[in-house]
Structure 1
Protein backbone atom coordinates (compact mmCIF):
# COMPACT_ATOMS: atom_id res chain seq x y z
CA UNK A 1 0.00 0.00 0.00
CA UNK A 2 1.26 3.47 -0.93
CA UNK A 3 0.11 6.35 1.28
CA UNK A 4 0.26 9.87 -0.19
CA UNK A 5 -0.28 12.93 1.98
CA UNK A 6 -1.41 16.12 0.26
CA UNK A 7 -1.20 19.29 2.36
CA UNK A 8 -1.47 23.01 1.70
CA UNK A 9 -3.40 26.06 2.76
CA UNK A 10 -7.15 26.44 2.53
CA UNK A 11 -8.27 26.73 -1.10
CA UNK A 12 -4.85 25.79 -2.45
CA UNK A 13 -6.15 23.04 -4.74
CA UNK A 14 -5.40 19.94 -2.65
CA UNK A 15 -8.67 18.25 -3.59
CA UNK A 16 -8.10 18.99 -7.29
CA UNK A 17 -4.69 17.34 -7.17
CA UNK A 18 -6.13 14.32 -5.37
CA UNK A 19 -8.99 13.99 -7.85
CA UNK A 20 -6.51 14.13 -10.72
CA UNK A 21 -4.72 11.06 -9.36
CA UNK A 22 -8.03 9.26 -8.89
CA UNK A 23 -9.04 10.18 -12.45
CA UNK A 24 -5.80 8.69 -13.79
CA UNK A 25 -5.78 5.48 -11.75
CA UNK A 26 -9.45 4.87 -10.95
CA UNK A 27 -11.40 4.44 -7.72
CA UNK A 28 -10.54 0.73 -7.63
CA UNK A 29 -6.91 1.64 -7.08
CA UNK A 30 -7.14 4.89 -5.09
CA UNK A 31 -8.96 5.76 -1.86
CA UNK A 32 -9.27 9.40 -0.77
CA UNK A 33 -9.51 10.27 2.91
CA UNK A 34 -10.12 13.92 3.84
CA UNK A 35 -8.60 15.11 7.10
CA UNK A 36 -11.60 17.46 7.45
CA UNK A 37 -13.74 14.46 8.36
CA UNK A 38 -11.54 13.96 11.42
CA UNK A 39 -12.32 17.23 13.13
CA UNK A 40 -12.68 16.33 16.80
CA UNK A 41 -16.28 15.78 17.83
CA UNK A 42 -17.52 18.72 19.90
CA UNK A 43 -21.20 17.83 19.88
CA UNK A 44 -21.35 18.13 23.68
CA UNK A 45 -20.83 21.88 23.32
CA UNK A 46 -23.49 24.41 22.44
CA UNK A 47 -23.59 25.83 18.92
CA UNK A 48 -22.36 29.15 20.27
CA UNK A 49 -19.38 27.44 21.89
CA UNK A 50 -18.59 25.38 18.78
CA UNK A 51 -18.54 28.48 16.58
CA UNK A 52 -15.76 29.96 18.72
CA UNK A 53 -13.39 26.98 18.30
CA UNK A 54 -10.22 27.57 16.30
CA UNK A 55 -10.72 24.99 13.55
CA UNK A 56 -7.49 25.98 11.81
CA UNK A 57 -5.24 24.86 14.67
CA UNK A 58 -3.65 21.38 14.42
CA UNK A 59 -5.30 20.37 17.71
CA UNK A 60 -8.74 20.72 16.09
CA UNK A 61 -8.22 17.33 14.42
CA UNK A 62 -8.41 13.85 15.89
CA UNK A 63 -5.30 12.56 14.14
CA UNK A 64 -4.99 9.57 16.47
CA UNK A 65 -8.22 8.19 15.03
CA UNK A 66 -7.01 8.93 11.51
CA UNK A 67 -3.76 7.03 12.17
CA UNK A 68 -5.70 4.15 13.71
CA UNK A 69 -7.88 3.95 10.62
CA UNK A 70 -4.84 4.06 8.36
CA UNK A 71 -3.39 1.13 10.28
CA UNK A 72 -6.63 -0.79 9.81
CA UNK A 73 -6.53 -0.17 6.07
CA UNK A 74 -2.95 -1.45 5.92
CA UNK A 75 -4.21 -4.68 7.49
CA UNK A 76 -6.88 -4.99 4.81
CA UNK A 77 -9.77 -4.08 7.09
CA UNK A 78 -12.69 -1.75 6.42
CA UNK A 79 -13.01 1.49 8.36
CA UNK A 80 -15.89 3.80 9.21
CA UNK A 81 -14.81 7.33 8.38
CA UNK A 82 -16.60 10.08 10.35
CA UNK A 83 -18.74 12.52 8.41
CA UNK A 84 -18.36 16.12 9.56
CA UNK A 85 -21.25 18.54 9.27
CA UNK A 86 -19.77 21.99 8.68
CA UNK A 87 -23.12 23.71 9.05
CA UNK A 88 -23.39 22.42 12.65
CA UNK A 89 -19.67 22.34 13.50
CA UNK A 90 -20.12 18.75 14.65
CA UNK A 91 -19.88 15.19 13.44
CA UNK A 92 -22.86 13.58 11.82
CA UNK A 93 -24.34 10.43 13.34
CA UNK A 94 -23.59 8.71 10.05
CA UNK A 95 -20.24 7.32 8.90
CA UNK A 96 -18.74 6.37 5.56
CA UNK A 97 -17.61 2.77 5.05
CA UNK A 98 -14.23 2.74 3.30
CA UNK A 99 -12.21 -0.19 1.99
CA UNK A 100 -8.48 -0.15 1.40
CA UNK A 101 -6.92 0.10 -2.05
CA UNK A 102 -3.30 -0.06 -3.26
CA UNK A 103 -3.05 3.73 -2.98
CA UNK A 104 -4.41 5.83 -0.12
CA UNK A 105 -4.50 9.63 -0.37
CA UNK A 106 -4.86 11.67 2.82
CA UNK A 107 -5.71 15.30 2.03
CA UNK A 108 -5.90 18.18 4.47
CA UNK A 109 -4.37 21.45 5.66
CA UNK A 110 -2.46 19.87 8.57
CA UNK A 111 -1.38 16.57 7.02
CA UNK A 112 2.29 17.56 7.26
CA UNK A 113 2.23 19.43 10.59
CA UNK A 114 1.71 16.29 12.70
CA UNK A 115 4.95 14.31 13.20
CA UNK A 116 3.21 10.97 13.68
CA UNK A 117 1.03 11.48 10.63
CA UNK A 118 4.05 12.48 8.53
CA UNK A 119 5.75 9.28 9.60
CA UNK A 120 2.89 7.24 8.15
CA UNK A 121 3.20 8.81 4.69
CA UNK A 122 5.21 7.37 1.82
CA UNK A 123 5.00 10.49 -0.34
CA UNK A 124 4.50 13.96 1.15
CA UNK A 125 3.06 16.64 -1.13
CA UNK A 126 2.51 20.35 -0.51
CA UNK A 127 0.24 22.36 -2.79
CA UNK A 128 1.52 25.94 -2.84
CA UNK A 129 -0.91 28.57 -4.13
CA UNK A 130 -1.02 32.38 -3.95
CA UNK A 131 -2.90 33.64 -0.85
CA UNK A 132 -5.21 35.87 -2.91
CA UNK A 133 -6.39 32.88 -4.92
CA UNK A 134 -6.84 30.78 -1.81
CA UNK A 135 -9.02 33.29 0.04
CA UNK A 136 -11.25 33.80 -3.00
CA UNK A 137 -11.73 30.04 -3.29
CA UNK A 138 -12.52 29.81 0.42
CA UNK A 139 -15.14 32.54 0.17
CA UNK A 140 -16.84 30.71 -2.69
CA UNK A 141 -16.73 27.35 -0.92
CA UNK A 142 -17.86 28.47 2.53
CA UNK A 143 -20.70 30.70 1.31
CA UNK A 144 -22.02 28.28 -1.30
CA UNK A 145 -21.39 24.89 0.31
CA UNK A 146 -21.18 25.48 4.06
CA UNK A 147 -23.87 28.09 4.62
CA UNK A 148 -21.52 30.78 5.93
CA UNK A 149 -21.98 34.51 5.52
CA UNK A 150 -19.35 36.59 3.75
CA UNK A 151 -18.67 38.50 6.98
CA UNK A 152 -18.11 35.29 8.97
CA UNK A 153 -15.66 33.99 6.35
CA UNK A 154 -13.80 37.29 6.40
CA UNK A 155 -13.64 37.39 10.21
CA UNK A 156 -12.49 33.78 10.45
CA UNK A 157 -9.80 34.32 7.85
CA UNK A 158 -8.27 37.24 9.77
CA UNK A 159 -8.57 35.75 13.26
CA UNK A 160 -7.61 32.10 12.70
CA UNK A 161 -7.09 31.02 9.08
CA UNK A 162 -4.21 33.32 8.16
CA UNK A 163 -2.46 33.23 11.56
CA UNK A 164 -2.60 29.42 11.67
CA UNK A 165 -1.43 29.17 8.08
CA UNK A 166 1.58 31.34 8.84
CA UNK A 167 2.35 29.54 12.11
CA UNK A 168 1.82 25.90 11.12
CA UNK A 169 0.86 25.18 7.51
CA UNK A 170 3.42 27.24 5.60
CA UNK A 171 6.32 25.96 7.76
CA UNK A 172 5.21 22.36 7.13
CA UNK A 173 6.17 22.82 3.47
CA UNK A 174 9.76 21.97 4.41
CA UNK A 175 8.71 18.36 5.02
CA UNK A 176 7.30 17.87 1.51
CA UNK A 177 8.92 15.53 -0.98
CA UNK A 178 7.08 17.29 -3.80
CA UNK A 179 5.85 20.89 -3.95
CA UNK A 180 3.18 21.66 -6.55
CA UNK A 181 2.80 25.41 -7.18
CA UNK A 182 -0.68 26.65 -8.15
CA UNK A 183 -2.38 23.36 -7.32
CA UNK A 184 -4.83 22.10 -9.90
CA UNK A 185 -3.54 24.57 -12.48
CA UNK A 186 -0.10 22.93 -12.51
CA UNK A 187 -0.52 20.12 -15.01
CA UNK A 188 3.19 19.27 -15.02
CA UNK A 189 3.34 18.91 -11.24
CA UNK A 190 0.22 16.77 -11.17
CA UNK A 191 1.59 14.64 -14.00
CA UNK A 192 4.79 14.08 -12.03
CA UNK A 193 2.82 12.86 -9.05
CA UNK A 194 0.54 10.62 -11.10
CA UNK A 195 3.58 9.17 -12.89
CA UNK A 196 5.05 8.20 -9.52
CA UNK A 197 1.82 6.53 -8.47
CA UNK A 198 1.47 4.78 -11.83
CA UNK A 199 5.02 3.47 -11.46
CA UNK A 200 4.10 2.09 -8.06
CA UNK A 201 1.03 0.41 -9.48
CA UNK A 202 3.06 -1.18 -12.29
CA UNK A 203 5.57 -2.50 -9.75
CA UNK A 204 2.78 -3.87 -7.57
CA UNK A 205 1.11 -5.65 -10.47
CA UNK A 206 4.46 -7.11 -11.57
CA UNK A 207 4.99 -8.52 -8.07
CA UNK A 208 1.53 -10.09 -8.13
CA UNK A 209 2.23 -11.72 -11.51
Structure 2
Protein backbone atom coordinates (compact mmCIF):
# COMPACT_ATOMS: atom_id res chain seq x y z
CA UNK A 1 0.00 0.00 0.00
CA UNK A 2 3.02 2.30 -0.22
CA UNK A 3 2.66 2.77 -3.98
CA UNK A 4 5.74 0.73 -4.86
CA UNK A 5 4.25 -0.65 -8.06
CA UNK A 6 3.41 2.73 -9.59
CA UNK A 7 6.75 4.10 -8.42
CA UNK A 8 8.55 1.30 -10.24
CA UNK A 9 6.53 1.90 -13.41
CA UNK A 10 7.15 5.64 -13.39
CA UNK A 11 10.81 5.06 -12.62
CA UNK A 12 10.93 2.72 -15.60
CA UNK A 13 9.63 5.47 -17.88
CA UNK A 14 12.06 8.03 -16.49
CA UNK A 15 15.01 5.70 -16.96
CA UNK A 16 13.93 5.06 -20.55
CA UNK A 17 13.88 8.79 -21.26
CA UNK A 18 17.48 8.86 -20.02
CA UNK A 19 18.51 6.16 -22.46
CA UNK A 20 18.58 3.34 -19.90
CA UNK A 21 16.88 0.00 -20.55
CA UNK A 22 14.94 -1.04 -17.42
CA UNK A 23 12.75 -4.06 -16.79
CA UNK A 24 10.53 -4.16 -13.69
CA UNK A 25 9.87 -7.41 -11.84
CA UNK A 26 7.21 -7.55 -9.12
CA UNK A 27 7.92 -9.80 -6.16
CA UNK A 28 4.15 -10.15 -5.70
CA UNK A 29 4.25 -12.67 -8.54
CA UNK A 30 6.64 -14.91 -6.62
CA UNK A 31 4.49 -15.84 -3.65
CA UNK A 32 4.40 -19.53 -2.82
CA UNK A 33 1.13 -21.36 -3.35
CA UNK A 34 -1.44 -20.48 -0.69
CA UNK A 35 -1.21 -23.80 1.15
CA UNK A 36 2.60 -23.48 1.31
CA UNK A 37 2.47 -20.06 2.96
CA UNK A 38 4.15 -20.08 6.39
CA UNK A 39 1.96 -19.48 9.41
CA UNK A 40 2.45 -17.13 12.33
CA UNK A 41 2.26 -17.95 16.03
CA UNK A 42 -1.54 -17.81 15.86
CA UNK A 43 -1.76 -20.33 13.04
CA UNK A 44 -2.74 -17.73 10.44
CA UNK A 45 -1.03 -17.35 7.08
CA UNK A 46 1.97 -15.05 7.43
CA UNK A 47 1.98 -13.22 4.11
CA UNK A 48 4.50 -10.69 5.43
CA UNK A 49 7.27 -13.25 5.94
CA UNK A 50 10.03 -13.36 3.36
CA UNK A 51 9.48 -17.12 3.39
CA UNK A 52 6.07 -16.48 1.82
CA UNK A 53 8.06 -15.87 -1.36
CA UNK A 54 9.28 -18.66 -3.60
CA UNK A 55 12.92 -17.69 -3.08
CA UNK A 56 14.30 -20.63 -5.02
CA UNK A 57 12.22 -19.85 -8.11
CA UNK A 58 12.96 -16.13 -7.86
CA UNK A 59 16.71 -16.59 -7.55
CA UNK A 60 16.80 -19.15 -10.34
CA UNK A 61 15.04 -16.64 -12.59
CA UNK A 62 17.37 -13.78 -11.66
CA UNK A 63 20.45 -15.93 -12.23
CA UNK A 64 19.09 -17.14 -15.57
CA UNK A 65 18.34 -13.57 -16.67
CA UNK A 66 21.83 -12.40 -15.76
CA UNK A 67 23.22 -15.24 -17.89
CA UNK A 68 21.13 -14.04 -20.82
CA UNK A 69 18.64 -16.89 -20.65
CA UNK A 70 14.89 -16.60 -21.16
CA UNK A 71 12.50 -17.12 -18.25
CA UNK A 72 8.72 -17.13 -17.97
CA UNK A 73 7.59 -14.72 -15.27
CA UNK A 74 4.58 -16.02 -13.31
CA UNK A 75 1.48 -14.02 -12.46
CA UNK A 76 0.18 -14.62 -8.97
CA UNK A 77 -3.59 -14.90 -8.77
CA UNK A 78 -4.47 -13.62 -5.30
CA UNK A 79 -8.07 -14.75 -5.58
CA UNK A 80 -7.12 -18.43 -5.81
CA UNK A 81 -3.65 -18.26 -4.22
CA UNK A 82 -1.76 -19.71 -7.18
CA UNK A 83 0.96 -18.69 -9.60
CA UNK A 84 -0.25 -18.72 -13.18
CA UNK A 85 1.82 -18.74 -16.35
CA UNK A 86 0.44 -16.64 -19.17
CA UNK A 87 3.35 -16.53 -21.59
CA UNK A 88 5.19 -13.59 -20.00
CA UNK A 89 8.66 -14.50 -21.25
CA UNK A 90 11.59 -12.23 -20.45
CA UNK A 91 15.20 -11.91 -21.52
CA UNK A 92 17.63 -9.10 -20.81
CA UNK A 93 21.04 -8.02 -22.04
CA UNK A 94 24.05 -6.70 -20.16
CA UNK A 95 22.82 -3.10 -20.39
CA UNK A 96 19.44 -3.80 -18.78
CA UNK A 97 18.60 -2.53 -15.29
CA UNK A 98 16.32 -4.84 -13.31
CA UNK A 99 13.86 -3.03 -11.03
CA UNK A 100 12.72 -5.33 -8.23
CA UNK A 101 9.52 -4.16 -6.57
CA UNK A 102 8.11 -5.65 -3.40
CA UNK A 103 8.06 -5.43 0.38
CA UNK A 104 11.11 -7.67 0.72
CA UNK A 105 13.22 -6.03 -1.97
CA UNK A 106 15.45 -4.44 0.68
CA UNK A 107 16.02 -7.69 2.55
CA UNK A 108 19.56 -8.92 1.79
CA UNK A 109 18.32 -12.51 1.98
CA UNK A 110 16.29 -11.97 -1.19
CA UNK A 111 19.27 -11.10 -3.38
CA UNK A 112 22.13 -12.60 -1.40
CA UNK A 113 23.60 -14.11 -4.58
CA UNK A 114 24.00 -10.66 -6.16
CA UNK A 115 27.01 -8.50 -5.18
CA UNK A 116 26.10 -5.35 -3.24
CA UNK A 117 27.85 -3.06 -5.73
CA UNK A 118 25.22 -3.97 -8.32
CA UNK A 119 22.31 -2.84 -6.14
CA UNK A 120 20.73 0.58 -5.66
CA UNK A 121 18.07 0.43 -2.95
CA UNK A 122 15.08 2.77 -2.71
CA UNK A 123 12.64 2.77 0.21
CA UNK A 124 9.11 3.85 -0.79
CA UNK A 125 6.50 4.63 1.85
CA UNK A 126 3.49 6.87 2.43
CA UNK A 127 4.79 9.23 5.10
CA UNK A 128 1.80 11.46 5.79
CA UNK A 129 2.88 15.07 6.29
CA UNK A 130 -0.42 16.75 7.17
CA UNK A 131 -2.17 17.07 10.54
CA UNK A 132 -5.80 17.47 11.55
CA UNK A 133 -4.87 20.52 13.64
CA UNK A 134 -1.90 21.90 15.56
CA UNK A 135 -2.08 19.08 18.09
CA UNK A 136 -3.50 16.08 16.21
CA UNK A 137 -1.22 14.39 13.73
CA UNK A 138 -2.36 11.81 11.20
CA UNK A 139 -0.65 8.43 11.63
CA UNK A 140 0.96 7.17 8.45
CA UNK A 141 -0.51 3.77 9.30
CA UNK A 142 -4.05 5.13 8.80
CA UNK A 143 -3.10 6.43 5.37
CA UNK A 144 -1.65 3.08 4.37
CA UNK A 145 -4.50 1.06 5.86
CA UNK A 146 -7.07 3.04 3.89
CA UNK A 147 -5.08 2.51 0.70
CA UNK A 148 -4.80 -1.19 1.46
CA UNK A 149 -8.51 -1.66 2.16
CA UNK A 150 -9.41 -0.07 -1.18
CA UNK A 151 -6.77 -2.05 -3.09
CA UNK A 152 -7.67 -5.37 -1.47
CA UNK A 153 -11.37 -4.81 -2.11
CA UNK A 154 -10.91 -3.77 -5.74
CA UNK A 155 -8.18 -6.15 -6.87
CA UNK A 156 -7.57 -8.98 -4.41
CA UNK A 157 -11.03 -10.13 -3.48
CA UNK A 158 -10.76 -9.23 0.22
CA UNK A 159 -13.44 -7.45 2.21
CA UNK A 160 -12.71 -4.53 4.51
CA UNK A 161 -13.34 -6.83 7.45
CA UNK A 162 -10.68 -9.28 6.23
CA UNK A 163 -8.12 -6.55 5.57
CA UNK A 164 -8.67 -4.94 8.97
CA UNK A 165 -8.43 -8.36 10.61
CA UNK A 166 -5.04 -8.98 9.01
CA UNK A 167 -3.69 -5.48 9.68
CA UNK A 168 -2.04 -6.31 13.05
CA UNK A 169 -0.20 -9.14 11.31
CA UNK A 170 0.87 -6.76 8.54
CA UNK A 171 2.17 -4.27 11.08
CA UNK A 172 4.05 -6.99 12.95
CA UNK A 173 5.53 -8.14 9.65
CA UNK A 174 6.72 -4.62 8.89
CA UNK A 175 8.50 -4.42 12.22
CA UNK A 176 10.17 -7.77 11.58
CA UNK A 177 10.82 -7.86 7.85
CA UNK A 178 10.87 -4.28 6.50
CA UNK A 179 11.80 -1.58 9.00
CA UNK A 180 15.10 -3.21 10.04
CA UNK A 181 16.40 -2.63 6.51
CA UNK A 182 15.02 0.84 5.75
CA UNK A 183 18.10 2.64 7.05
CA UNK A 184 20.38 0.74 4.68
CA UNK A 185 18.90 2.25 1.53
CA UNK A 186 20.45 4.61 -0.99
CA UNK A 187 17.33 6.79 -1.32
CA UNK A 188 13.90 7.28 0.25
CA UNK A 189 10.72 8.31 -1.57
CA UNK A 190 7.60 9.62 0.14
CA UNK A 191 4.55 8.50 -1.85
CA UNK A 192 1.97 10.32 0.29
CA UNK A 193 -0.02 13.03 -1.49
CA UNK A 194 -1.42 16.06 0.31
CA UNK A 195 -4.86 15.65 -1.27
CA UNK A 196 -5.17 11.87 -1.29
CA UNK A 197 -7.35 11.37 1.80
CA UNK A 198 -9.91 13.74 0.30
CA UNK A 199 -9.89 11.63 -2.86
CA UNK A 200 -9.98 8.31 -1.04
CA UNK A 201 -12.99 9.31 1.07
CA UNK A 202 -15.61 8.54 -1.57
CA UNK A 203 -14.00 5.16 -2.24
CA UNK A 204 -13.37 3.98 1.31
CA UNK A 205 -16.72 4.94 2.87
CA UNK A 206 -18.94 2.37 1.11
CA UNK A 207 -16.33 -0.36 1.65
CA UNK A 208 -16.04 0.32 5.38
CA UNK A 209 -19.82 0.38 5.73
CA UNK A 210 -19.95 -3.29 4.73
CA UNK A 211 -18.29 -4.36 8.00
CA UNK A 212 -21.02 -5.90 10.22
CA UNK A 213 -21.67 -4.08 13.48
CA UNK A 214 -21.29 -7.30 15.45
CA UNK A 215 -17.85 -8.03 13.95
CA UNK A 216 -14.67 -7.48 15.99
CA UNK A 217 -13.36 -5.30 13.15
CA UNK A 218 -16.31 -2.91 13.31
CA UNK A 219 -14.69 -0.63 15.91
CA UNK A 220 -11.73 0.02 13.62
CA UNK A 221 -13.99 0.47 10.59
CA UNK A 222 -16.11 2.97 12.54
CA UNK A 223 -13.00 4.87 13.67
CA UNK A 224 -11.77 5.13 10.08
CA UNK A 225 -15.20 6.29 8.92
CA UNK A 226 -15.22 9.09 11.48
CA UNK A 227 -11.67 10.02 10.55
CA UNK A 228 -12.21 10.15 6.78
CA UNK A 229 -15.28 12.38 7.20
CA UNK A 230 -12.91 15.15 8.31
CA UNK A 231 -11.95 15.62 4.65
CA UNK A 232 -14.00 17.36 1.99
CA UNK A 233 -14.27 14.80 -0.80
CA UNK A 234 -12.58 15.30 -4.15
CA UNK A 235 -13.99 13.52 -7.18
CA UNK A 236 -11.75 10.83 -8.61
CA UNK A 237 -12.17 12.24 -12.12
CA UNK A 238 -9.86 15.07 -11.09
CA UNK A 239 -6.96 12.63 -10.66
CA UNK A 240 -4.76 12.09 -13.74
CA UNK A 241 -4.31 8.53 -15.04
CA UNK A 242 -0.59 8.56 -14.25
CA UNK A 243 -1.17 9.42 -10.58
CA UNK A 244 0.08 6.99 -7.95
CA UNK A 245 -3.44 6.98 -6.48
CA UNK A 246 -4.72 5.21 -9.58
CA UNK A 247 -2.93 2.09 -8.33
CA UNK A 248 -5.68 1.86 -5.71
CA UNK A 249 -8.62 3.56 -7.43
CA UNK A 250 -8.35 2.10 -10.92
CA UNK A 251 -8.31 4.01 -14.19
CA UNK A 252 -4.52 4.11 -14.38
CA UNK A 253 -2.47 4.48 -17.53
CA UNK A 254 -0.43 1.55 -16.22
CA UNK A 255 -1.43 -2.09 -16.07
CA UNK A 256 -1.02 -3.87 -12.75
TM-score (norm 2): 0.59
**Aligned counterparts, 1:151-190, within 5 A:** 151-158=161-168, 160-180=169-189, 182-183=190-191
Q: Which has the higher contact order (CA 8 A, sep 6+)?
A: 1
**Aligned counterparts, 1:78-157, within 5 A:** 78-94=70-86, 96-100=88-92, 102-117=96-111, 120=114, 122-129=119-126, 130-157=140-167
Instruction: Give the RMSD, CA atoms, in angstroms.
Output: 2.6
Q: Whole-Å Cα distance in 1 between the matches of residues 173 and 36 of structure 2?
A: 25
What residue in structure 1 maps to residue 24 of structure 2? 32
Structure exhibiting the larger radius of gyration computed from Cα positions? 2
Larger helix percent: 1
- Runs (5+) with no aligned partner, structure 2: 38-42, 127-139, 195-256
- Runs (5+) with no aligned partner, structure 1: 1-10, 46-50, 187-209
Question: Residues 44 and 167 (structure 1 numbering): CA distance in 2 closer, same or farther, change over 3 Å?
Answer: closer
How many residue pairs end up in the alignment?
169
**Alignment match of 1:56 (pick from 22, 28, 48):** 48
Q: Whole-Å Cα distance in 1 between the matches of residues 63 and 192 of structure 2?
A: 29
Contact 1:43–1:91 under 8 Å retained in 2: no
- Note the C-alpha offset of 1:153: 0.6
Q: Whole-Å Cα distance in 1 between the matches of residues 183 and 8 of structure 2?
A: 20
- Note the C-alpha offset of 1:95: 5.1
- Note the C-alpha offset of 1:164: 0.4
Larger strand percent: 1
- Note the C-alpha offset of 1:100: 1.6
